[in-house]
């Protein structure tokens, strides 16, 4: 009889522990579910705020991209109204460029080097073709690049002085 009561007490204890574990796991599942719902809601709110921020930045970027184009078009319109039609260039140079000027611009300045490389690649290609007129045209285009390179080489000559060239230019009224 004591043995039966002991066995029943042990079984009752096991059932209570099992029930308690089920109850606790159900509470734990509900707590995790609630946490997940809150986290999802917070992420959705954050995502919505980020989308609004991205849209605002895209609008600002579009405005910034459009602004220079609008300003440039406005500048062109003002110049056309002022000058009439066509493209006009106002020269501000008061003295003729020397070989040193060409050297500084096309040999020392990195942007000038890139420009000279592009001019050389574009206009110093194979000048001879089957068509005589086309050959003459290509030779004429190549002469410009040759002139620039010649002026650079003149300035790179150890005997060159800018004062000597300026004096020569004044004497010959070039």
DSSP symbols for 75-122: HHHHHHHHH-SS--------S---HHHHHIIIIISHHHHHHHHHHHHH
Please tell me which residue, 149 or 165, carries the higher pLDDT value: 149
Mean pLDDT within 108-136: 90
The answer to whether residue 24 sits within a structural domain is: no
How many domains does the structure of the chain reveal?
2
Residue 41 has pLDDT above 80, yes or no: yes
Which residues have a Cβ under 8 Å from the Cβ of 162 and sit 6 or more positions away? Answer: 98, 99, 100
Mean pLDDT within 60-74: 77
Per-chain mean pLDDT for the chain: 83
pLDDT tier at 88, thresholds 50, 70, 90 = low
Q: Are residues 115 and 145 in the same domain?
A: yes
Mean pLDDT within 32-53: 88
Mean pLDDT within 21-28: 78
pTM to 2 decimal places: 0.46
Q: Are residues 110 and 145 in the same domain?
A: yes
For residue 84, what is the DSSP state?
-
The answer to whether residue 32 sits within a structural domain is: no
- Cβ count near 100 (within 10 Å): 19
Q: Are residues 58 and 108 in the same domain?
A: no
pLDDT tier at 113, thresholds 50, 70, 90 = very high
Residue 166 has pLDDT above 60, yes or no: yes
Coil, helix or strand for 44? helix
- Domain of residue 71, residue span: 48-79
Q: Are residues 108 and 142 in the same domain?
A: yes
- Residue 87: enclosing H or E segment and its boundaries? none
Mean pLDDT within 106-116: 92
The answer to whether residue 113 sits within a structural domain is: yes
Q: Are residues 110 and 167 in the same domain?
A: yes
Q: Are residues 126 and 64 in the same domain?
A: no
């Amino acid at each position: 009889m004591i043995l039966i009561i002991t066995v029943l007490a042990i079984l009752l204890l096991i059932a209570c522990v099992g029930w308690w574990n089920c109850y606790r796991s159900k509470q734990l599942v509900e707590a995790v579910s609630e946490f997940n719902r809150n986290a999802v809601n917070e992420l959705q709110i954050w995502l919505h705020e980020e989308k609004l921020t991205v849209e605002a930045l895209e609008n600002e970027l579009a405005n910034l991209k459009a602004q220079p184009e609008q300003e440039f078009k406005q500048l062109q319109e003002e110049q056309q109204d002022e000058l009439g039609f066509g493209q006009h260039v106002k020269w501000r140079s008061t003295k003729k460029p020397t070989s040193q000027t060409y050297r500084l611009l096309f040999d020392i300045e990195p942007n000038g080097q890139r420009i000279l490389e592009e001019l050389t690649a574009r206009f110093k290609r194979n000048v001879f073709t089957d068509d005589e007129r086309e050959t003459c045209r290509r030779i004429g285009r190549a002469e410009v690049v040759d002139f620039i390179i010649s002026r650079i080489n003149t300035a790179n000559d150890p005997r060159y002085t800018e004062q000597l060239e300026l004096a020569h230019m004044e004497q010959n009224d070039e």
